[in-house]
Every structure is written in structure tokens, then in C-alpha cells.
Amino acid sequence: MIETLSPTRLSCGSRVLDLSRPQVMGILNVTPDSFSDGGRYALRDAALRHAESMLAAGAALVDVGGESTRPGARTVSPTEELERVAPVVEAIARELDVIISVDTSTPAVIREVARLGAGLINDVRSLRRDGALDAAVDTGLPVCLMHMRGEPGDMQDDPHYENVTDEVCIFLERRMAECVAAGIAAQRIVLDPGFGFAKTLEHNLSLFRHLEQLHRLGRPLLVGVSRKSMIGKALGREVGERLYGSLALAALAVTKGAQIVRVHDVAETVDVVRMIAAVNAAE
């Protein structure tokens, strides 16, 4: 069994995340595409119902995101991002007993969702946008720092690494030190190698194989691989056909000591994670 030195509890605003067993973060998309003609509250209500079903399926966190990180995705103004995310965060905080993670890089969004009851800031840009670090410091919330190079729009343009695992480790160690220097206690930090962000299939597979090395940084690890193109490429599967590949990687991530897995298919992943925890609890 992988032994990690990471603490077993993460304080997330008014709630505590128990990391003595692996936890599932459910992905909640709040991009309005399919709700544009459903009236003012259709998006919020659909998101609330989705969050409720993920909570019932065993998710400890839901990750709310209002800005697409897909290559080529349209950029969203801070106002538009806030208009998408804030009502959803407010509704979930009011209605459900779940930790709300918000996938954002935007200072105004960080500050407002903290006020509305978010429990974790999940920033794929590791708080490198102007003002984001100060905003995160002020919230007092934990943050997930993720490895990425460049921006979502250009990150897949021919990425190169000498040793991807070493370089991801060095990046996360440096970024963690910068965040600590700015006033985010190390105990508030979760780390993420950023699968699919500025990495080829070979980079993603090698990074996954050596995932244990990231435990040297002494912080809980979050892994997000659900339905990603590394599964599509390795197996030759379209996005709708990646459940089994996603579950295999969730099982492997947890076996390698990842404390949080970020997934679309919560019920299926919760069974995988609970089964592994049951075996690991045996004599």
C-alpha cells in the first residue's frame, strides 16, 4: 500500500473533507449551451439536480465550472462567468450538504463564490492570473494547484519535457512555495499533475505511471482523467465510450495514493473507490 505523509483532513470553509479514505469529486458543468432557451432558472435548476444526484451517488465534492478549458473555447468575461457560476454555488450551498469546489482562475469569481459558500478553489492556472493569488489568500479557502504550461488555447502545441514527472514536481513545488509566501498556508494546498494539460499521450502515461513521486511534496493529490483524450487515444474510444478506461485510471490513481479523483461518472467511481478502500482496510 502507498503511504503518504499528507494530512487526513482538509478544512473547506464550514465543512471538513475526510482524506483518510479516497474521495470523489463530481464534475458539474455550467456552460449554458443546452439551456439557452430554457428560461432564467433552467441552468441553475438543472445544475442543482445534477449536484444532488452526484451527492446521492457518494460524491464528497462537486466541482462547478463556468469557463471551458477546451482548446479553442471562447473566452468568457468575468461578469459572464460569475453570472453562470454564482447562482449555482448559492443554490447548492443552500440546498445540499456537499463541499463546493469552483473551477475558476478569475479573482472576482474567487471572492464572490467564497462569500456564497464555496469550500475549495480549483484553478487550472494555479492562481497565476493577475489578482487571483491575493483573492485566494483573502478567502481563507483551500486551493488546488494544477500543473499546466501556457494557456488552454495553445497548451497542446508540441509540448516537450526532458522528464515529465520531475518537471511537474518541480513546477508544483515552486508554485506551492510562491503561494505559501503570499499567505496561503501549506495545509490549505492540494496538488494536481494536470493530466491532458500541455501533455502528449506519452507524457500523460508516463506521469501516471510515476504518480507516486508526487507524494514527496507532502500534500494531498487530486487526479482528473475522466473521459479525457488520453483514454480516447490509448483505447481508440470516442468521448462517450470512455467509462471503463476512466474507471481503470481512477482505480490506478487511488491505488497509487491519490486522495481525490475528479470524475463525470460518480456512482461507478464511488464503487471502485469503496472497493479498494475495503481491501486496504483488511488485516
Which amino acids are annotated catalytic?
Answer: 228, 262
Select 153 or 279, whichever has its Cβ closest to ligand 8Y4.
Answer: 153
Grid coordinates of 2: 502507498
SS3 of residue 70 by DSSP = coil
Calpha distance 66→39 (Å, rounded): 18
- Judged by CB under 6 A, the residue of 81, 103, 112, 265 near ligand 8Y4 is 103
Helices and strands, number each (H, E), in the chain: 9, 10
Helices of type H across the chain: 42-56, 78-95, 107-116, 132-139, 164-182, 201-209, 229-235, 243-255, 266-280
- Judged by CB under 6 A, the residue of 69, 156, 200, 213 near ligand 8Y4 is 69
Give yes or no for residue 122 binding ligand 8Y4 (CB under 6 A): yes
Select 55 or 120, whichever has its Cβ closest to ligand 8Y4.
Answer: 120
Query: Considering only 85-93, 131-139, 203-211, 222-230, which stretch makes contact with ligand 8Y4 by CB under 6 A?
Result: 222-230
Select 241 or 281, whichever has its Cβ closest to ligand 8Y4.
Answer: 241
- Judged by CB under 6 A, the residue of 89, 102, 116, 124 near ligand 8Y4 is 124
Residue of closest CB approach to ligand 8Y4: 224
What is the DSSP pairing of strand 99-103 with strand 61-65?
A: parallel
Nearest-CA neighbor of 24 among 280, 278, 274, 282?
274
DSSP 75: P
What residues numbered 237-276 form the site for ligand 8Y4, per CB under 6 A? 239, 262
Q: From the CB of 222, what's the least distance to ligand 8Y4, in Å? A: 5
Q: Give 128: exposed, middle or buried? Use CB within 10 Å, 0-12, 13-18, 19+.
A: middle
Calpha distance 212→245 (Å, rounded): 20
- Judged by CB under 6 A, the residue of 142, 224, 245, 257 near ligand 8Y4 is 224
Q: Calculate Rg over the CA atoms of the chain.
A: 18
Tell me how many residues contact ligand 8Y4 (CB under 6 A): 16
Select 91 or 222, whichever has its Cβ closest to ligand 8Y4.
Answer: 222
Select 38 or 71, whichever has its Cβ closest to ligand 8Y4.
Answer: 71
SS3 of residue 100 by DSSP = strand
Calpha distance 96→273 (Å, rounded): 22
What residues numbered 145-184 form the site for ligand 8Y4, per CB under 6 A? 146
What residues numbered 180-209 form the site for ligand 8Y4, per CB under 6 A? 192, 194-195
Select 44 or 199, whichever has its Cβ closest to ligand 8Y4.
Answer: 199
Chain residues in the site for ligand 8Y4 (CB under 6 A): 65, 69, 103, 122, 124, 144, 146, 192, 194-195, 222, 224, 227-228, 239, 262
